Amino acid sequence: MSRLLLRRSQAAAVAVAIALASGDASGQTTSPPAPRPPAPEVDTGYVVYGGAVSLPLGVGFRLPSYNRVDGVVLPWGPKITLRDGALEIDPTATYRSHIGVIDPYVVARFDFGQRNEVKIEGGRSTFTNDAWIRSDLVNSAAALFVGSDARNYFRADRVVSTFSHRFDAAPFTVTPSVGALFENAWSTGSPIRHTSAPFSVLGRSDTLKLRRPNPEVARGHTASGLGRVDVMYDRDETTFGLDGRIEVAFDGPEGLFRIATLSSGAAVQCCGPGDGYTDGFTQLTFGSKAGFRTFGTQRFDFRGHAVITPGDEAPPQRYAYLGGAGTLATVDLLALGGDNLMYVEGEYSIPLLRPILPFVGAPILSVRYAAGGAGIGDFPDLIQNIGVGIGVRLLKAEYHIDPNYRKTTFSKKNAFSIGVSLSL
């Protein structure tokens, strides 16, 4: 009897389970749980978020330079970037070891639109009109190691503002600009033979090198309107660049300019007190470069520079100079100068196939022609140089002759020089 009751209760339990399992789901009163979304992926990459203030090279120093007037030139300062890079403010304090000063300077750039820029800069610095002869790096290395500084200098407090617009029409890029300049200039270095010069490995005591006198300028203010146009062309290893500038000075320093002969024998222009100078002038400056391949790996490179001052003479702080391995090798370093200058140079380079030298590759033969002159008020006769050279990549050795050296007191018959390739 008990076994029969147990079997019936088991059968009833099974029947209930089957009924529940086969029941209609629509009769359920509790909704099934929603499916869980997949877990989001975790980005474990390291992200650096830039701020408005940055320090170039990690500590704020900029690339240093070296020259015979300032010695070591070491700028330091932060860069401030705002409005997603549209506004950039670049203040620097520059230490100049030989004259023992720290110069403040600031450059602010504001981009608006797609190709418009307003640039305002101002402060105290050492300026030169001869930076076109050599780059900062090459001139610094030449001054430090062999005492050859191919620049003259002056000091000034200066404020410059410009507005520029860039036109892109590949392969051309054209950038015209207009602006204004206000400057208060004074002389630096020594205009006569001296013994005070910064360190150099060679040439420190040479009066034509590191102890070369630095021409005086006319102390005073200049207020000018500025105009400029830059044209660049780059296609298939053919490059061309033209930089044209005009300065119209409405007010300038007063002085009586004269030509002085230094103890080194070089004729330079300097100024003295007086009231024989009209205070306005107009000066145009043109610089150009071009290069292209000719046959195979051979190439031709051209460089030109011109300064034209129509009408009244410009003060000496607007003079440009020629002479030395960077321009006319048969002329003493920067022995020719004035407010009018003309210079052209062409170089044909032929890379050799052998020998292949370690690190620098095969030697390069070159043929070079240069002609130029400079003077005050007008252009003198041009001095010509013809040269041949051999080099490797950066450096080359050249031998130059002046076929008409007897017609001028400034040029020698021949000269040997170590320089850099014109294509660099």
Which of 24, 212, 40 lies closest to 130, judged by CA?
A: 212
Q: Along the 424 residues of the chain, how does pLDDT read in single tens digits? A: 444 443 444 444 444 433 333 444 433 444 555 555 555 555 444 444 457 999 988 899 999 999 999 999 999 999 999 988 899 999 999 999 999 999 999 999 999 888 999 999 999 999 999 999 999 999 999 999 999 999 999 999 999 999 999 999 989 999 999 999 999 999 999 999 888 899 999 988 999 999 999 999 999 999 999 999 999 999 988 999 999 999 999 988 876 555 443 434 444 444 444 344 557 899 999 999 999 999 998 999 999 999 999 988 999 999 999 999 999 999 999 999 999 999 999 999 999 988 888 877 889 999 999 999 999 988 888 999 999 999 887 788 999 999 999 888 889 999 998 876 655 4
Predicted pLDDT of residue 16:
40
Predicted pLDDT of residue 256:
53
Domain-wise residue ranges, the chain? 108-384
What's the CA dihedral at 157, 162, 168, 174 to 10 degrees? -70
Predicted pLDDT of residue 257:
53
Enclosing H/E stretch for 3: helix 2-21
Enclosing H/E stretch for 14: helix 2-21
Handedness of CA 148, 154, 159, 163 (dihedral sign): negative
DSSP code string of 307-343: EE--SSPPPGGG-EEE-STTS-TTB-TT-EEESEEEE
Enclosing H/E stretch for 137: helix 136-146
What's the CA dihedral at 80, 83, 86, 91 to 10 degrees? -20
pTM of the model: 0.82
Predicted pLDDT of residue 358:
83
pLDDT digits (tens, 9 = 90+) for 88-131: 999 999 999 999 999 999 999 999 888 999 999 999 999 999 99
Predicted pLDDT of residue 261:
38
Predicted pLDDT of residue 92:
98
